[in-house]
C-alpha cells in the first residue's frame, strides 16, 4: 500500500477560482512534506518543503499546510490561472532521505 | 530551465535493441537519481548515486544498467526491454543524499516506448 494518498485524483476549476488538494501520509519517522508541480511533458518542480514544525508555507498563489499530528497536508491554489493546469504531487520524506510519492492530483483550469 | 538536462526527450525502441539515456546537471550537486513514472502511478525510485557511488538499487531488473562517470553525468543503459518498461524516465539531482530539506531538481524526462 502506498504511503502517500492524494485526493481528489483530478479536478476541474474555472479560472479565477480557488481549490484545495489533499494529501495523507503514513511514513515514519517523518522528516518533511513536499509539494511538486508537474506540467504536461515536463519534470516535477518543487513548490514547497515543510518540516514537522511548520504549519504553513506559501509560494506565490500556492499555500501548503501541514498537520504532523494527523499526518495530513493540503495545497491551496488561490485565484487560479490557466498556467496552474498541471499535476500536483505530494511527497513525504522518511528518515531524512527516503521519499514516498503520491500519485498526484491533476488540475485543469478552464477559461 | 531546471539545470538538469535529459536526452533524448523521446525514444522508441524494439525489445532487442540497446540504447542509453543521458542526464547532465549543471547545479554542482552530489546526488543523482533515476525515477520511472508510469501513467497514474507514483514515481518509482530506481537508482541513487551519491558522490559517484551507487547507494541504492530498488530491485530494478538487470536490463536497466546505470552508470555515473562523474557527479554531473548519469546514464541509464537499456537492453532487452519489455513492453511494460514503456514510461517516462526522470533524472533528478540534489545537493547531497542526506540533506532532506533540499529539493530534488528534475529533468524533463525521456518518454520511452517499447515496441
User: For each of chain B's 115 residues, which pLDDT tens digit applies?
Assistant: 679 999 999 999 998 889 999 999 999 999 999 999 999 899 999 999 999 888 888 889 999 999 999 999 999 999 999 999 999 999 999 998 776 678 899 999 999 999 9
Q: Would you tell me how many other CB atoms lie within 10 Å of the CB of residue A5?
A: 15
Task: Report, as an integer, the average pLDDT of A90-108.
Answer: 92
Query: Between chain A and chain B, how many beta carbons pairs sit less than 8 Å apart?
Result: 49
A49–B101 C-beta distance less than 8 A: yes
Residue A94 has a pLDDT of 87
What CA–CA distance (Å, rounded) separates B13 from B8? 12
What CA–CA distance (Å, rounded) separates A27 from A5? 11
A51–B101 C-beta distance less than 8 A: yes
Query: Pairing between strand A105-110 and A10-14?
Result: parallel
Q: How confident is the model at residue A96 (pLDDT cuts 50, 70, 90)?
A: confident
The CA distance from B97 to the nearest CA of chain A, in Å, is 6
What CA–CA distance (Å, rounded) separates A33 from A41? 24
The CA distance from A79 to the nearest CA of chain B, in Å, is 25
Q: How confident is the model at residue A1 (pLDDT cuts 50, 70, 90)?
A: low
Q: What is the mean pLDDT of chain A?
A: 95
Residue B101 has a pLDDT of 79
Task: Report, as an integer, the average pLDDT of A87-101.
Answer: 90
B-chain residues within 8 Å CB-CB of A42?
A: 108-109
Task: Report, as an integer, the average pLDDT of A27-52.
Answer: 94
Residue B99 has a pLDDT of 65
In this predicted structure, the answer to whether residue A2 has a pLDDT above a threshold of 90 is no
In B1-115, alpha helices (H): none
Of B43, B101, B103, the CB nearest to A101: B43
Please give the residue of chain A at the shortest CA–CA distance from B92.
A43
Query: Please, are residues B5 and B24 in contact by the beta-carbon 8 Å criterion?
Result: yes
Task: Report, as an integer, the average pLDDT of A27-36.
Answer: 93
Q: How confident is the model at residue A52 (pLDDT cuts 50, 70, 90)?
A: confident
Q: Would you tell me how many other CB atoms lie within 10 Å of the CB of residue B17?
A: 14
Residue B57 has a pLDDT of 85
A-chain residues within 8 Å CB-CB of B40?
A: 9, 103
Please give the residue of chain B at the shortest CA–CA distance from A46.
B103
Please give the residue of chain A at the shortest CA–CA distance from B42.
A103
Task: Report, as an integer, the average pLDDT of A27-42.
Answer: 94
Interface list for B 45-104 with A (CB within 8 A): 45, 90, 92, 97-98, 100-101, 103-104
What CA–CA distance (Å, rounded) separates B29 from B10? 25
For residue A60, the SS3 value is coil
Please give the residue of chain A at the shortest CA–CA distance from B109.
A43
Structure-model confidence comparison of residues B55 and A19, the more confident one? A19
Amino acid at each position: 500500500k502506498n504511503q502517500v494518498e492524494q485526493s481528489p485524483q483530478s479536478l476541474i476549476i474555472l479560472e479565477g477560482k480557488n481549490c484545495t488538494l489533499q494529501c495523507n501520509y503514513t511514513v515514519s519517522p517523518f522528516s518533511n512534506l513536499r509539494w511538486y508541480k508537474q506540467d504536461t511533458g515536463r519534470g516535477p518542480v518543487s513548490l514547497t518543503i515543510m518540516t514537522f514544525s511548520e504549519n504553513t508555507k506559501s509560494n506565490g498563489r500556492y499555500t501548503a499546510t501541514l498537520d504532523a499530528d494527523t499526518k495530513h497536508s493540503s495545497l491551496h491554489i488561490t485565484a487560479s490561472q490557466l498556467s496552474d493546469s498541471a499535476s500536483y504531487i505530494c511527497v513525504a520524506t522518511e528518515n531524512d532521505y527516503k521519499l514516498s510519492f503520491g500519485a498526484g492530483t491533476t488540475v485543469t483550469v478552464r477559461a | 530551465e531546471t539545470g538538469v538536462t535529459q536526452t533524448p526527450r523521446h525514444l522508441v525502441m524494439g525489445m532487442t535493441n540497446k540504447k542509453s539515456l543521458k542526464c547532465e546537471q549543471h547545479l554542482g550537486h552530489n546526488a543523482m537519481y533515476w525515477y520511472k513514472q508510469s501513467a497514474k502511478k507514483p514515481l518509482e525510485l530506481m537508482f541513487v548515486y551519491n558522490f559517484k557511488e551507487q547507494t541504492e538499487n530498488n530491485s530494478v531488473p538487470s536490463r536497466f544498467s546505470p552508470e555515473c562517470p562523474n557527479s554531473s553525468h548519469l546514464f541509464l543503459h537499456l537492453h532487452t526491454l519489455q513492453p511494460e518498461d514503456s514510461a517516462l524516465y526522470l533524472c533528478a539531482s540534489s545537493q547531497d543524499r542526506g540533506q532532506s530539506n533540499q529539493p530534488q531538481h528534475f529533468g524533463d524526462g525521456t518518454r520511452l516506448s517499447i515496441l
